[in-house]
């Protein structure tokens, strides 16, 4: 009985011990999960490692001269890991005051004491990723890295520098829609079309996970190094782009238009030198680049479509330029539908040749030509238009080009018995401005149609690694005879008697082109008093260098004709190019040089100039006894004038060649920086100023 009681007591003791142990375990689990959850979660996360993707630096978008149109600007986030094992606490305490003072001086967003408090709070809380400063630029970062304690490696200081790249456009709104936007989704423009080249290849790095789902590199090494993207070189000329946008905007403001676009293209290559797209934004009360109308907006082209209409008729032999057409009094009904000329209320044009019909932009005349020649064979007319290639998209690299809407077959949707007539004057058909420009460019290019292109090549570290050559879409859109006839008609539009003669009458260069004015269509009907004005053409006529189209939608300032609203933008661009690009006016310059008997000389070293003039047999008037002389060119001789070069003073080197200018300036102890090529145009330090040794002088050459 006694043994039985002993066993019972021991059993109860064992039971109570096990129960107590179980209860203790439950309490401990409760404490860990509830009271110490954050502590152990942080500790557990500290040991979690993972291979993380490191984004590559995105390539830049450059203008033709290398100017930055879009670039990735690095920004840095400075953080501090207060738990870094390598931190020497005694040294940190000693340097904290000067460290905080330096941060306050560089950033100015906090006082020294506030920075001290920030570090102390991070230590008290055991922060592994305390944010010290966001959005730090590179120059400020370099200054920060010179501060006490932070100069030590991140394993001894705890400082972590995170880099991110922010996309910037240094020229602001210039060509904004064409350059485009880069974002994770719905990128546009060049940023989207050339993303593969710009993006580069992401890298891989081993990182550890800290509290708050924050990742920290274990070391500076990469499993796979990120490869930066290529720089995309565009054909855009920043100066011409600025003129295109400014002039277009002025016209839109003057005429209170809804939107407008202008495209300047190189005839031979199809490279786009300037492209402006401006739309009125009611919220901003300003014209902004909200949509790329030149690329993506299909419109009824109006009278600019008269070129392909007559080109098709010429190509199949239906007409000759000398054929006579009677436009009557400028008003005629075709199958019950009235067609009017712009001067119908003044008696019209009467009779004229096909060439004159085009130059007058006679709606009645063009409608009469197409109806009389193709009335019984309308499919032949549509086939002739299709043979020009105008019912196909251009296949440009930018996303968003729609297919042209041009009837391919008689009986297509919306086709009627008079559709061939409306098409001939630019209605019941739609093209983008860039598609319209491409045919005109082909005429300027002797019949060869090239694809409009925005990019000329790709660079890496400033060196060209791949070209993006021009693409020929068609070697010939039609016969040379037809091209020559079209060139003649387009030239006549800008000469006396043509619809654009008064715009280009005082030009020093010849232009070929076509005006266009079309009613606006909305909800299947045309809106009285609302128009779209356009002008498209090329210059100079003898050796076309550039083609250009300008479209102004819904001008409300009184005038609405293409000649008065759109053509002035074309002319402003052409004037600037003619004045600044010598190759455009090469023949004129050659004629001018042929008439110049005495060449113009630079200033320079006396004996060198004498030897040159004597070798050329040019008479010289030389009263100078100076080593350095300036020149004055007359009709039949050159006069040399002494230049005063004072010791210890900055000489006047304007008008000299670079070699002579460098000799004089460096002898004064100056450091010379050069911008441009040619002779010296300006110098940054005024002549006669005391020369200071090792001072920098800037020379601009021209």
> Confidence band (pLDDT; 50, 70, 90) for 691?
confident
> Which has the closest alpha carbon to 552: 295, 255, 263, 244?
255
Lowest mean pLDDT among 54-58, 103-107, 285-289, 353-357: 54-58
CATH at 357: 3.40.710.10
- Does a structural domain hold residue 480? yes
- Does a structural domain hold residue 44? no
Do 259 and 195 fall into the same domain? no
Please, is 437 exposed, middle or buried when counting C-beta atoms within 10 Å of its C-beta (0-12, 13-18, 19+)?
Answer: buried
Helices (H) and strands (E) in the chain, counts: 24, 29
Do 29 and 150 fall into the same domain? no
- Does a structural domain hold residue 598? no
Q: Both tokens of residue 295?
A: 């690329």
Do 438 and 487 fall into the same domain? yes
Predicted confidence at residue 216, as pLDDT, reads 67
* Mean pLDDT along residues 145-151: 88
Do 104 and 159 fall into the same domain? yes
- Does a structural domain hold residue 42? no
| Containing structural domain, residue 167 | 52-233
* Mean pLDDT along residues 501-518: 92
Rounded Cα gap, residues 400 and 396, in angstroms: 9
Residue 46 has pLDDT above 50, yes or no: no
Lowest mean pLDDT among 118-122, 240-244, 551-555, 671-675: 671-675
Do 255 and 176 fall into the same domain? no
Q: Which of 214, 233, 252 is the last residue of a domain?
A: 233
- Does a structural domain hold residue 517? yes
- Does a structural domain hold residue 599? no
Over residues 156-197, the pLDDT tens digits come to: 888 888 888 788 887 777 888 888 877 666 678 898 899 899
Q: How many CB atoms lie within 10 A of CB 181?
A: 15
Predicted confidence at residue 683, as pLDDT, reads 85
Do 653 and 511 fall into the same domain? no
Q: Both tokens of residue 92?
A: 């940190």
CA angle (345 as vertex; 343, 349 as ends), nearest 5: 40
Predicted confidence at residue 593, as pLDDT, reads 45
Give the whole-number percent of the chain exceeding pLDDT 70: 89
Do 74 and 212 fall into the same domain? yes
> Which has the closest alpha carbon to 566: 301, 312, 319, 377?
301
Do 168 and 312 fall into the same domain? no
Residue-wise over 558-589: b if at least 16 C-beta within 10 A, else e? eebbbbbbbbbbbbbbbebbbeeeeebbeeee
Do 510 and 575 fall into the same domain? yes
Predicted confidence at residue 30, as pLDDT, reads 65
- Structural contact between residues 561 and 593, judged by C-beta atoms closer than 8 angstroms: no
Do 205 and 347 fall into the same domain? no
Total domain count, the chain: 4
CATH at 637: 3.30.10.20
Do 401 and 481 fall into the same domain? yes
Over residues 315-348, the pLDDT tens digits come to: 999 999 999 999 999 999 999 999 999 999 999 9
* Mean pLDDT along residues 581-597: 56
Rounded Cα gap, residues 625 and 354, in angstroms: 71
DSSP output for 338-406: EEE-TTGGGT---EEEHHHHHHHT-HHHHHHHHHHHHTT-HHHHHHHHHHTTTTS----SSTTPPPPB-
- Does a structural domain hold residue 595? no
Q: Which of 233, 267, 297 is the last residue of a domain?
A: 233
> Confidence band (pLDDT; 50, 70, 90) for 600?
low
Over residues 196-211, the pLDDT tens digits come to: 998 888 778 777 776 5
Residue 58 has pLDDT above 60, yes or no: yes
Do 16 and 96 fall into the same domain? no
- Structural element, H or E, at residue 529: strand 525-539
Mean pLDDT of the chain: 86
Q: Which of 233, 252, 271 is the last residue of a domain?
A: 233
């Amino acid at each position: 009985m006694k043994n039985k009681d002993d066993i019972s007591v021991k059993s109860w003791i064992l039971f109570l011990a096990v129960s107590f142990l179980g209860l203790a375990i439950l309490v401990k689990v409760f404490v860990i999960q509830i009271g110490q959850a954050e502590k152990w979660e942080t500790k557990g996360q500290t040991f979690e490692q993972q291979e993380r993707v490191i984004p590559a630096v995105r390539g830049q978008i450059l203008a033709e001269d290398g100017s930055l149109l879009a670039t990735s600007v690095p920004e840095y986030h400075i953080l501090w890991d207060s738990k870094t094992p390598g931190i020497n606490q005694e040294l940190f305490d000693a340097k904290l005051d000067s460290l905080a003072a330096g941060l306050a001086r560089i950033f100015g967003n906090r006082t020294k004491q506030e920075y001290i408090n920030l570090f102390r709070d991070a230590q008290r809380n055991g922060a592994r990723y305390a944010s010290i400063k966001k959005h730090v630029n590179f120059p400020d970062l370099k200054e920060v890295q010179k501060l006490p304690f932070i100069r030590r490696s991140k394993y001894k200081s705890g400082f972590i520098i995170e880099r991110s790249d922010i996309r910037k456009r240094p020229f602001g709104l210039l060509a904004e829609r064409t350059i485009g936007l880069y974002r994770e989704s719905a990128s546009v423009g060049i940023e989207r079309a050339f993303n593969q080249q710009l993006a580069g290849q992401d890298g891989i790095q081993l990182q550890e996970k800290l509290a708050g789902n924050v990742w920290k590199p274990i070391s500076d090494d990469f499993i796979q190094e990120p490869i930066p993207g290529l720089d995309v070189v565009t054909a855009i000329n920043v100066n011409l782009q600025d003129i295109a946008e400014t002039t277009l905007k002025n016209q839109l403001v003057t005429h209170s238009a809804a939107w407008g676009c202008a495209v300047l293209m190189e005839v031979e290559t199809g490279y786009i030198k300037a492209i402006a797209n401006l739309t009125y934004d009611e919220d901003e009360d300003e014209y902004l680049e909200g949509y790329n109308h030149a690329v993506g907006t299909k419109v009824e082209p109006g009278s600019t479509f008269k070129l392909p209409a007559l080109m098709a008729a010429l190509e199949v032999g239906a007409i000759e330029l000398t054929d006579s057409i009677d436009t009557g009094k400028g008003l005629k009904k075709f199958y019950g539908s009235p067609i009017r000329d712009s001067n119908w209320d003044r008696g019209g044009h009467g009779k004229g040749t096909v060439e004159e019909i085009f130059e007058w932009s006679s709606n009645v005349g063009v409608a009469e030509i197409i109806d009389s020649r193709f009335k019984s064979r309308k499919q032949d007319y549509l086939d002739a238009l299709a043979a020009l290639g105008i019912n196909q998209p251009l296949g440009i690299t930018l996303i968003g080009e729609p297919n042209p809407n041009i009837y391919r077959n008689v009986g297509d949707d919306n086709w009627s018995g008079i559709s061939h007539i409306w098409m001939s004057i630019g209605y019941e058909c739609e093209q983008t401005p860039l598609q319209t420009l491409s045919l005109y460019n082909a005429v300027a290019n002797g019949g060869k149609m090239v694809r409009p292109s925005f990019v000329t090549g790709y660079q890496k570290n400033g060196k060209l690694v791949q070209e993006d050559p021009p693409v020929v879409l068609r070697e010939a859109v039609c016969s040379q005879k037809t091209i020559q006839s079209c060139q003649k008609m387009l030239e006549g539009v800008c000469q006396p008697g043509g619809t654009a003669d008064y715009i280009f009458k005082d030009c020093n260069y010849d232009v070929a082109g076509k005006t266009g004015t079309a009613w606006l269509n909305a909800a299947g009907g045309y809106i009285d008093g609302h128009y779209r004005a356009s002008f498209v053409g090329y210059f100079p006529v003898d050796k076309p260098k550039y083609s250009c189209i300008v479209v102004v939608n819904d001008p409300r300032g009184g005038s609405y004709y293409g000649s008065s609203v759109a053509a002035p933008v074309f002319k402003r661009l052409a004037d600037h190019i003619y004045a600044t690009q010598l190759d455009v006016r090469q023949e004129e310059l050659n004629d001018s040089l042929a008439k110049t008997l005495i060449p113009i000389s630079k200033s320079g070293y006396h004996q060198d100039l004498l030897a040159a003039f004597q070798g050329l047999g040019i008479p010289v008037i030389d009263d100078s006894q100076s080593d350095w002389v300036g020149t004055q060119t007359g009709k039949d001789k050159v006069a040399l004038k002494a230049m005063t070069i004072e010791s210890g003073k900055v000489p006047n080197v304007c008008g000299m060649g670079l070699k002579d200018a460098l000799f004089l300036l460096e002898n004064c102890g100056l450091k010379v920086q050069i911008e441009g090529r040619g002779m010296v145009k300006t110098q940054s330090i005024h002549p006669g100023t005391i020369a200071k040794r090792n001072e920098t002088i800037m020379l601009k050459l021209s």
